[in-house]
């Protein structure tokens, strides 16, 4: 009962979309928000590691649409945790001490990660449990960079279902989305700028209490106003076909 009360409170959060899941799929998007945080100063300390404040355009929309499409296909909700706050105030894909410079920012960072931890803990014992962390990149328009900390965030026996031609990424390639590394070269080294951030590493398979975690850095062609729903439908279909076991 206490847990339910806490969850209802979380759901009222204007700065973070939090949906309780019925499937062992955890969808996260930390960088697509635009809202300011009351009483929170802008991040300015460029000496902190990996200091970035740019918006991941439409990554929030793609994550939310994917959750909606997956519910349409399965009749069940995935976990959904999406930042509506701007990365100019809090970067939830960094450790607490690097992601914000104030107490009010830290409180928001903690709420994001309390929700993620709850989702991962609830999913861990289920077959096919997967955290999918949505980002946007401006490097290559018609490409999605896969980030798994060079496979460390995935269990070895899950590669077939997730990133090889028989799996989730293989199905998405056949649906017309391009990936780097390609499914046929699943063991190729990942792009060093897009090889999985703090969320992927913290909740991924090689960490304590982790699950399979996959970061996707999506190019503009796949997340524009005209294409975002189509991409979400393809991702949801591939999750249903290749990742979910029940």
> How many CB atoms sit inside 10 A of residue 95's CB?
14
Burial (CB < 10 A; 0-12, 13-18, 19+), residue 230, is middle
Tokens describing residue 22? 């019925």
The verdict on 61 binding Zn ion (CB under 5 A) reads no
Which residues between 13 and 32 bind Zn ion (CB under 5 A)? 31
Using DSSP bridges, classify how beta strands 144-147 and 130-136 pair: parallel, antiparallel or unpaired.
Answer: unpaired
The verdict on 171 binding Zn ion (CB under 5 A) reads no
56 or 171: CB nearest Zn ion: 56
List, as own/partner pairs, every contact residues 118-123 make where C-beta atoms lie below 8 angstroms and the sequence separation is at least 24, other chains included: 118/7, 119/21, 119/26, 119/79, 119/81, 120/26, 120/203, 120/209, 120/210, 120/211, 121/209, 122/21, 122/24, 122/79, 123/21, 123/24, 123/25, 123/26, 123/79, 123/211
Q: Please identify which residue in 56, 60, 71, 91 interacts with Zn ion, judged by CB under 5 A.
A: 56
Nearest approach, Cβ of 55 to Zn ion (angstroms)?
A: 9
Q: Which of 179, 217, 177 is nearest to 199 (CA)?
A: 217
Name the segment binding Zn ion (CB under 5 A); options: 21-29, 54-62, 114-122, 156-164. 54-62
135 or 242: CB nearest Zn ion: 135
147 or 181: CB nearest Zn ion: 147
Nearest approach, Cβ of 93 to Zn ion (angstroms)?
A: 6
60 or 71: CB nearest Zn ion: 60
Name the segment binding Zn ion (CB under 5 A); options: 8-16, 40-48, 56-64, 237-245. 56-64
56 or 161: CB nearest Zn ion: 56
DSSP 152: T
Nearest approach, Cβ of 164 to Zn ion (angstroms)?
A: 25
> How many CB atoms sit inside 10 A of residue 189's CB?
10
The verdict on 68 binding Zn ion (CB under 5 A) reads no
Q: Which of 184, 183, 179, 194 is nearest to 142 (CA)?
A: 179
User: Contacts with Zn ion: how many residues (CB under 5 A)?
Assistant: 3
56 or 65: CB nearest Zn ion: 56
Residues in Cβ contact with 53 at an 8 Å cutoff, skipping those fewer than 6 apart? 42, 43, 86, 87, 88, 91
Nearest approach, Cβ of 31 to Zn ion (angstroms)?
A: 4
Which residues between 122 and 141 bind Zn ion (CB under 5 A)? 135
43 or 135: CB nearest Zn ion: 135
Nearest approach, Cβ of 5 to Zn ion (angstroms)?
A: 32
List contacts with Zn ion (CB under 5 A).
31, 56, 135
């Amino acid at each position: 009962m206490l847990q339910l009360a806490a969850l209802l409170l979380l759901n009222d959060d204007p700065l973070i979309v939090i949906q309780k899941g019925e499937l062992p799929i955890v969808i996260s998007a930390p960088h697509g928000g635009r809202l300011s945080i009351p009483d929170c100063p802008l991040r300015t300390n460029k000496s902190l590691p990996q200091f970035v404040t740019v918006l991941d355009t439409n990554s929030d929309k793609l994550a939310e649409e994917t959750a909606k499409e997956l519910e349409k296909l399965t009749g069940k909700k995935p976990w959904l945790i999406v930042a509506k706050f701007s990365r100019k105030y809090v970067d939830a894909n960094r450790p607490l001490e690097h992601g914000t410079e104030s107490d009010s920012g830290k409180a928001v960072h903690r709420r994001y990660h309390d929700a993620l931890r709850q989702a991962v803990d609830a999913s861990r014992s289920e077959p096919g449990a997967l955290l999918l962390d949505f980002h946007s990149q401006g490097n290559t328009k018609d490409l999605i960079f896969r980030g798994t900390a060079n496979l460390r965030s995935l269990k070895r026996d899950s590669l077939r279902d997730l990133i090889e031609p028989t799996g989730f990424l293989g199905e998405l390639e056949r649906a017309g989305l391009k990936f780097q590394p390609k499914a046929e070269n699943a063991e190729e080294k990942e792009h060093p700028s897009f090889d999985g951030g703090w969320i992927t590493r913290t909740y991924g398979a090689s960490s304590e209490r982790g699950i399979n975690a996959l970061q996707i850095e999506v190019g503009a062609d796949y997340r524009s106003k005209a294409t975002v729903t189509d991409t979400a439908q393809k991702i949801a279909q591939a999750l249903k076909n290749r990742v979910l076991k029940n």
